[in-house]
Amino acid sequence: MQEDPRDIDKLLEDVSLTLQQCQTPTKTSSASIPLEPPSDQIQAAIDQLKDHLQKPVGLVLLDATLVGQFRRVARLLTTQSSVLSEGGRALLGLFVQNLGSTISNLQAAQEKRSRATSQEADHKHRVSKLQAHQLDLQAKASKLRSIDQKVKSLEAELQLWKSKRTQKCLELQTVHAESQGLVQGVELISRAEQDSQTLQSEIANLEMLPLMGWAGLFAAFKEL
């Protein structure tokens, strides 16, 4: 069955009309297309992005307020094809896409840095305590050395006193021996004195009889 040429023309006309409707936005569709923001707003967004990029990444991405500002600026700039190059939009979009994991990495790094700082502070505290303990031990060791020197000096002095004591003991023994001789001499003198007294008594007794006899004779012959 042969197709009617009028049917083909009608089909082409319908396709052309459909293409025109797709290329020409209607009032309803044009209302949904976002309008390009003013140039001053775009420039302010660019300045704010530059300001963020000049700051340390941790300072920006670990601050919820600054992260919100960064997201809004990035969203604005990536949706405007005339602002950034295709590579710039792709790079910024990729960074925003991975922003969550980037922030998580920064938070993990901050926690580890905090632990490292705490460990370092604890290590310094321990080292400080060890150094103080070492100084204390050195002071005690110095004091013990001084005491040891004093003990040695006292031991030497004690040995000297022992030597003197031994010498004095020998002298005392000599004096004791001499005193024993002196005692014996005193005893001899005492005995000699006693013997002398006894002798004197005997002499007196012996002389008494002649004296008494002589006195009797004197008395008897006194009247002659």
Confidence band (pLDDT; 50, 70, 90) for 11?
A: very low
- DSSP SS3 for 223: coil
Q: What is the pLDDT of residue 81?
A: 57
Alpha-carbon distance 37 to 42, whole Å? Answer: 7
pTM of the model: 0.45
Please check the confidence at residue 192 and state whether its pLDDT lies above 90: no
Residue 82 near residue 116 (C-beta atoms within 8 A): no
Q: Which residue has the higher pLDDT, 55 or 11?
A: 55
Residue pLDDT, tens place only, 100-144: 898 999 899 989 999 999 999 999 999 999 999 999 999 999 999
Q: What is the pLDDT of residue 125?
A: 92
As a residue count, the chain comes to 224
Pick from 78, 96, 97: nearest CA to 87: 78
Alpha-carbon distance 80 to 141, whole Å? Answer: 78
Residue pLDDT, tens place only, 72-101: 888 888 887 577 788 888 888 888 889 889
Pick from 82, 95, 110: nearest CA to 53: 95
Domain boundaries in the chain?
37-97, 169-206
Q: Which residue has the higher pLDDT, 154 or 28?
A: 154
What average pLDDT score do residues 24-32 get?
44
Return the number of other C-beta atoms located less than 10 Å from residue 61's C-beta: 19
Alpha-carbon distance 46 to 172, whole Å? Answer: 114
Q: What is the pLDDT of residue 154?
A: 92
Q: What is the pLDDT of residue 155?
A: 92
Q: What percent of the chain has pLDDT over 70?
A: 82
In eight-state DSSP terms, residue 35 is P
Amino acid at residue number 160? L
